[in-house]
Amino acid sequence: MIDFGYTIRKERLIDYDKNDKRVLEHLKAHEPSVLTCIACGSCTATCSAGQFVDFNIRLVQTLLRRGEIEPLKAEMQKCMLCGKCILVCPRGVNMRNMILAIQTATDKLK
């Protein structure tokens, strides 16, 4: 019988126990509207940057909540801060401030 093992490859895994939640804590204090996201994707569908490059602002919010800081940092530079996402969001999440607050928080971590 083939032994498929029991471990999950580290690069595939979101290690929620070890992930760094400090950026999320910063966001909860400075842009708590991110907590109300229902992952509808309206923001991503309407995103100016997302039409051209691989940028998914809905996913940014999810990565933030999981404490996935490294992939989050890579996304930050893609946003043009146009604010169309804020216009369509059914939950009133202020995504522009979310991006700015994530940048502030990740800069502090350095």
Partner 1 sequence: MRDPNNLDSSGKTVIIIGGGVAGMTAASRLADLGEQVILIEQEEEIGGHLLNWDRLFPNRRPGYEVLDSLRDALTNSVEIRCSETVSTVIPQSSGFQVILQSEESLFCDALLLATGFDLFDATKKEEYGYGIYENVITSADLEMMFRSGRPITTSRGKVPERVGFVHCVGSRDEKVGNLYCSKVCCVTGVKQAIEIKEQLPQAELFGFYMDLRMYDRHFEEMYYEAQQKWDINFLRGRVSECAENQDQSIVLKIEDTLTSRPLKITVDLLVLLVGFVPKPETLRLASLLEIPVGDDRFLEPLDEHTRFNHTGRPGIFLAGTNKGPLTISNTIADASAAAIQLHHYLQTINETHP
For tokens 């401030």, what's the residue? 97
Among positions 8, 13, 29, 38, the unique one binding partner 1 when judged by CB under 8 A: 38
Q: Tell me the DSSP string of 3-55.
A: ---SPPPGGG---TTTS--HHHHHHHHH-GGGGG-----HHHHH-TGGGTSS-
Among positions 19, 21, 66, 88, the unique one binding partner 1 when judged by CB under 8 A: 88
Among positions 41, 65, 78, 103, the unique one binding partner 1 when judged by CB under 8 A: 41
Task: Please report, for the chain, how many H helices and E strands are present, in that order.
Answer: 6, 0
Stretch of 5-13, 21-29, 86-94, 100-108 contacting partner 1, by CB under 8 A: 86-94
| Terminal Cα-to-Cα distance of the chain (whole angstroms) | 48
Interaction of residue 59 with partner 1, rule CB under 8 A:
yes
Interaction of residue 106 with partner 1, rule CB under 8 A:
no
CB of 41 to partner 1, least distance (A): 3
Binding site for partner 1 (CB under 8 A): 38-47, 50-51, 56, 58-59, 88-92
